[in-house]
Amino acid sequence: MQPRVPSTDPVTPRTAGEMVKLAREFLQKKGLDEARLEAELLVAHALDLDRLKLFLQHDRPLREEEIVRARELLVRRGKREPTAYLTGKREFYGRTFLVGPGALIPRPETELLVDRAREIARGRAASDAPLARAADFGTGSGCLGITLALEIEDLSVFAVDASNEALAWARRNAEALAATRVEFGHGDGYALLAQHARAQGAFDLVVANPPYVGRDESADLAPEVRDHEPASALFAPEGDPDHHLVRLLDLTPSVLARSGTLLVELGHKQGTRAKPLAEARGLEARLHRDYGGIERVLEVRSSEPRDRPTG
């Protein structure tokens, strides 16, 4: 048998640094905006490293199987599969969440709900009325409910979703992050929240990131979102972006405890309609903008909130 001759193909990387360079150039040609970041994430994943270790090991020689694995990931990304699905994880509020098909990928703008919830919790603690019970409507990967349970002391969270696939990811994340104060429910979220409030007491906080994309807006979505993330978590029922917002507003008086708060993430065109919809129902409402200046979160309090039952 003849000894194997090392390849002199100029497009075959010899080191991790060369792989990152070629990966970045490939993703740039595919028109991806964050080619450098995604190249680092995908190559690091292929080499079983984090980004920092990859940076420190740019001169590391590559094995053939590592090159094959990296190329496979890059080809799939070039076909617009989401990077988070390819690596199986996404950062949210400083923690790593496991994600995959069937669960919406956590977004940075959703962290605004956590920021506001923490502010509310600090204010409640100062007035000797700490947040004790929260609900997460449409939990998906669990990023909101789990993060709230870990960030706010002694807060218990009831997280619900209609998708068994999504709940499987949420349960894995709760276990991986040791979020022991999170309970999950499967089924119609509105019915589950109402039942839970009647049986165990109304909620101090309800958070929701419901589907709010209208069918006529699907063409505006990136292919990795439109073609790969679960449609049930993206598109509003019957194409009405306000469907879930209206139902949540109607549910609010029956599930919120006194001084309770509802926080709902909004679509980028929804803010102008959201506050009037709340106020038309006699609810106190305010809007919070994200870092891009978009009215991203609706905060609601009931004018006649329900007390937590005694006894």
**Confidence (pLDDT) at 303:** 57
Place of tokens 């990811």: 169
Neighbours of 100 (CB within 10 A): 18
**Residue 276: Cβ within 10 Å count:** 10
Global pTM value: 0.90
Q: What torsion, rounded to 10 degrees, do the Cα atoms 200, 202, 207, 208 define?
A: 80
**What string of pLDDT tens digits covers the 311 residues of the chain?**
444 434 444 478 999 999 999 999 999 999 999 999 999 999 999 999 999 999 999 999 999 999 999 999 999 999 999 999 999 999 999 999 999 999 999 999 999 999 999 999 999 988 888 999 999 999 999 999 999 999 999 999 999 999 999 999 999 999 999 999 999 999 999 999 999 999 999 999 999 999 999 877 877 889 999 999 999 999 998 879 999 999 999 999 999 998 899 999 999 889 999 999 999 999 999 999 999 999 999 999 875 544 444 33
Which two three-digit tokens encode residue 153? 């002391």
Phi, psi of 156, rounded to the nearest 5 degrees: -100, 140
Straight-line distance from the first to the last Cα atom of the chain, in angstroms, rounded to the nearest whole number:
84
Cα 86 to Cα 70: distance, rounded to the nearest angstrom: 11
**How many residues are present in the chain?**
311
pLDDT given for residue 259 in this prediction = 87
What's the angle, vertex CA 98, arms to CA 94 and CA 102, rounded to 5? 130
Residues 6+ apart with CB under 8 A from 71: none
HEC string for the chain: CCCCCCCCCCCCCCEHHHHHHHHHHHHHHCCCCCHHHHHHHHHHHHCCCCHHHHHHCCCCECCHHHHHHHHHHHHHHHCCCCHHHHHCEEEECCEEEECCCCCCCCCHHHHHHHHHHHHHHHHHHHCCCCCCEEEEECCCCCHHHHHHHHHCCCCEEEEEECCHHHHHHHHHHHHHCCCCCEEEEECCHHHHHHHHHHHHCCEEEEEECCCCECHHHHHHCCHHHHCCCCHHHHECHHHCCCHHHHHHHHHHHHHEEEEEEEEEECCCCCHHHHHHHHHCCCEEEEEEECCCCCEEEEEEEECCCCCCCCC
